[in-house]
Amino acid sequence: MSQNKSTRFIPLIIAISVVIGVLLGTFYAHHFSGNKLSIINTSSNKLNDLLHIIDDQYVDTVDLSNLVERAMPEILGELDPHSIYIPAQKSQEATDELAGSFSGIGVQFTIRQDTIYINNVIKGGPSEKVGLLAGDRIIKVDGEDFTGEIVTNEEVLHRLKGEKGSEVKLTVLRRGQKEFLDFTVVRGDIPVNSIKAAYMINKEVGYMQIEKFGETTYPEMLVGLAKLNQANFKGLIIDLRGNTGGYMGAAIQMVNEFLPANRLIVYTEGRKSARQEYKSDGRGGYQNLPLVVLVDEASASASEIFSGAIQDNDRGVVVGRRTFGKGLVQEQVEFGDHSMIRLTIARYYTPSGRCVQKPYKKGHDEDYEMDILTRYQRGEFFSEDSIKQSGTAYETSIGRKIYGGGGIMPDYFVPQDTVNYTSYFRMANQQGFIIQYAYEYTDDNRQALSKYDTYESLVKYLASQNIVDKFANYANKKGLKRRNLMLQKSMNLFEHALYGNIVYIMLDDEEYAKFANESDPTVLKAVNLLKNNEAWPQAPKP
């Protein structure tokens, strides 16, 4: 009986042996032939497997690191317009953009005719200490010629920025001197101010221009508010036009200064991110101050959080044009080589429940990027009637009706100013002749212009110099035919553009803001609203 049992298991043993033999044969055959398709069929990470196969079997040598660098943006581009890859060599620049400072030589520059022109030397910075001056042209960096096509904005930043305490040797050409001048600059911390102006427009109204929401923006705002408070301001204009955003946390802190306790500022929610609400704590020092917020088509992200919170809580009025429409929250993840990704992890919503993110289609990034131009072409910048209200209707805290579907709609629309606009002015502006002439005029007349330290005194001097006529002759030599009738019609536009650029080059951001705001229709509208006590929204009539 025992023998029968043994005999009965022989076929099973043989079958198992055959299966094992087949598996072993297949393994060794595939192993030595390099065939790894079976791995792909069973692996959960096809991308890694693909790279291994390319590295192991591709006919030519492949730089896998370079292949990955090129693939990363494409992969993230399939998700949404704001999930991006930042290579290692650009990561520091991306971080510095929102940091409170960076290490450099302390100059502002432009690139003209393939040469670095120093526009401004930051007071107290490394370059001022060694004697560099506005108007100097940098010819060499660390003994190597640095002119020509190699001079790009990216390359200039790469060569001039560096670790604190490190040295860079500069050779410059200074107007009026025949010999080159050599300077050794020790790099130091350079402050990056995100609030460009905080001053009194009149005896009662304060004005604050915020360029971005960075690490130091909130404390900068507190300093600016304290300055305006000393001047006894009764109302405030916060200008977020052109502000493309930054840190959400900074916007939340800043809105908190103007809201009473327990008001919802913003909330975020995503597939892997549970709803998170951010509310005011009631400690803000300016809860009863009349407030107007200025926005335009370039106001995005954190700017929309700020303006949306003010609008939805009926805390102030929003003036200008529809904002950009970015309602996606990014998380920054850094890799071992210091490259990084900014990955969208949630959407943010204003207190009423609006997601201000404008519509986008995956794979249609060009359409998304051209949205501003599309708005312009359909007349949205010039007529409130051309704006298409879309999406669900929402209500503010007192029942005012507002809409989602792409950006923050202002309470008061102000069109782009096109009075006296001519094709001659458009060509002069678009081809860069206005700003080019402003730089050349400044270089030629820097000694005379340096006598004036306010925009009023500088503009008064410029008004006596026949600047527009000189510009027309300059542009004519550059190929833009002089058109006297159009020149006369657009005289105010030319004066404002030329004077403004020269003020910007010669003076600081605040003086430039003062000059620009004198005739800015959006600012004038805000001042009028505050004057007439219309900065507090009113509930709709039943």
- pLDDT tens digits for 250-289? 999 999 999 999 999 999 999 988 999 999 999 999 999 9
Q: How far apart are CA 392 and CA 147, in angstroms?
A: 55
Residue positions annotated with a catalytic role: 301, 312, 326
Position 37 pLDDT exceeds 50: no
Residue 13's pLDDT band, with cuts at 50, 70 and 90, is: low
Helix (H) or strand (E) run with residue 401 in it: strand 401-403
Q: What is the pLDDT of residues 352-395, one digit of tens each?
A: 999 999 888 776 667 777 877 877 777 778 877 656 555 678 99
Q: What is the pTM of this model?
A: 0.85
Residue 418's pLDDT band, with cuts at 50, 70 and 90, is: confident
Written as six digits, the tokens of 122 are 């930051």
Position 112 pLDDT exceeds 70: yes
Tell me how far CA of residue 330 lies from CA of 82, 347, 374, 469, in angstroms: 8, 9, 26, 50
Q: How far apart are CA 426 and CA 434, in angstroms?
A: 10
Report the percent of the chain where pLDDT is more than 90.
Answer: 60
Residue carrying the six token digits 């060509």: 427
Q: Mean pLDDT, to the nearest integer, of 314-329?
A: 94
Burial of 36 (0-12, 13-18, 19+ CB in 10 A): middle
Q: What is the pLDDT of residues 161-171, one digit of tens each?
A: 888 899 999 99
Q: How far apart are CA 53 and CA 62, in angstroms?
A: 11
